[in-house]
Structure 1
Amino acid sequence: MKQAINIRLEKEMVKALDEYAKEKELEKTQTSLVEKAIERYFDRLDEMVADKRIDNLKSGKTAVVPLEEVFKKVGIDV
């Protein structure tokens, strides 16, 4: 189910959004264009988080805990 939100955008961005939404070849609404842009940005954010986690592992800021140790700590017998 979709939920409405209110956002503020620069006038130039709203103008560009309007122009793209009016393109007959795209057959997209403003909402669908914004949703797709946000989805793509979230994908990029996921990549950035993963890269940061890898960097932390490589630098030793984050330790790897063996799965067996996690199971033992929470009382799961494997």
Structure 2
Amino acid sequence: MSTVRLNITLPASVNEDINHYAKELNEKKSHIISSALDMYFDYLDIRVAEKRLNDNEPTISLEELRKELGL
């Protein structure tokens, strides 16, 4: 996996939390942040799916999908 260097601004309290967990778990801060973002993106995926469901987007049945795909 390739990596990218970012400069970000965080509240001091968040930085303190990151430092605390990195020290406690003996992990790099970048690993803590990356893991936290991965988990948050999973949460956002759920929110997007719920939004799309609530937006009443047209849906098709499994049978219609199979027919459309020729299965």
TM-score normalised to structure 2 length:
0.77
Q: Give 5+ residue unaligned stretches, structure 1.
A: 72-77
User: Deviation at 1:64?
Assistant: 2.7
Q: Secondary structure at the match of 2:55?
A: helix
State which of 49, 53, 59 in structure 2 corresponds to 1:64.
59
Runs of 4+ in 1 over 4 A off after TM superposition: none
Q: Provide the residue aligned with 2:53 in structure 1.
A: 54
Alignment RMSD, CA only?
1.6
Task: Give CA deviations for 1:15-41 in whole Å, capped at 9, x if unaligned.
Answer: 111111111xx2311000000010011
Unaligned 5+ runs, structure 2:
none
User: In structure 1, how many angstroms separate the alpha carbons of the residues matched to 2:40 and 2:14?
Assistant: 16
In the comparison of the two structures, how many residue pairs are matched? 64
Query: Per-residue displacement from partner, 1:19-74 (whole Å, max 9, x unpaired)?
Result: 11111xx23110000000100110000000011111122xxxx2235543xx7xxx
2:33, 2:58 → 1: CA distance? 38
TM-score (norm 1): 0.71
